[in-house]
Structure 1
């Protein structure tokens, strides 16, 4: 029988998200089980659903933690980067976080709400945080401040880097003969920025 009244609701949220991230990192989304998360945490599956409402609620909470850790990692990289290397820090940070957390990272993109609807607004806000970090750096690199242009370009560049990153993780580039996917992604980003008028 699972434990009862050992933790507050907030503590349970943290406990289940921590355990969920551990399991996700081990088995990936396809084999992920909310029931196993509950069992390994010492609680019943009913407690998980009482806290998060559903399987989707648990997954959204786990993915939000991954996104927050990723955003924190990018900010730390930017803080340590020299002014001329900030774009490179973002691109390499994208790749390296994915490489260090492959199953958790891909789950952010593989999980979809069971009803086919959008994720909760608070989660969408978390998910757009990384885009905001990128857009700020793009805006700083462009010759004139234009937030709309910066966010549009940021979306395209993130898509470019993401595609290279997915191909690298799934070893698709091995079949295509690309041996340096991060460098290739960085080259495409620099070409796009140069075409948009960014300096150097």
Structure 2
């Protein structure tokens, strides 16, 4: 049940939700790049919060360990919780994707406007850990969107055999359990990379 092969099969079964998640994330990046005034204020609040936390972690006795613990716990908790928050019609996973995409788009665009080295930002600052972290978050949100779609489908589906419906939900909840475990594993690896390789490259 918890094998990677099972996880891969589960991903194939929600490929429409995966594609939609990828689209929402890409739209978020575009919105962040465009950066309307209202959106800029929201993103700046997000970034200021991250700067405050980053400053506190850098002042700890072991910054790399502090960064690892914070990054892993923050991402893994959000990654798992967002799956089950998808039960609220998939609204929160969709917003989560848009906001996270917007933050990346805004940071890259702002760095370009300030004349900063985009190669350093993207290849050194985002790519090492992002190549694992971003897909993991997109996958988590895809399961959240699928959760919402299943809830909506159950509400409007004609009354049928309760056993069949129960079996479908049992199967999907098994999928979310498998996904949760593998998402945590992927984010664990990403946190190691971000707190070591990325940390060293940007120091």
Structure with the bigger percentage of helix: 2
Per the normalisation by structure 1, the TM-score is 0.30
> TM-score, normalised on structure 2?
0.30
Higher relative contact order (CA 8 A, sep 6+): 2
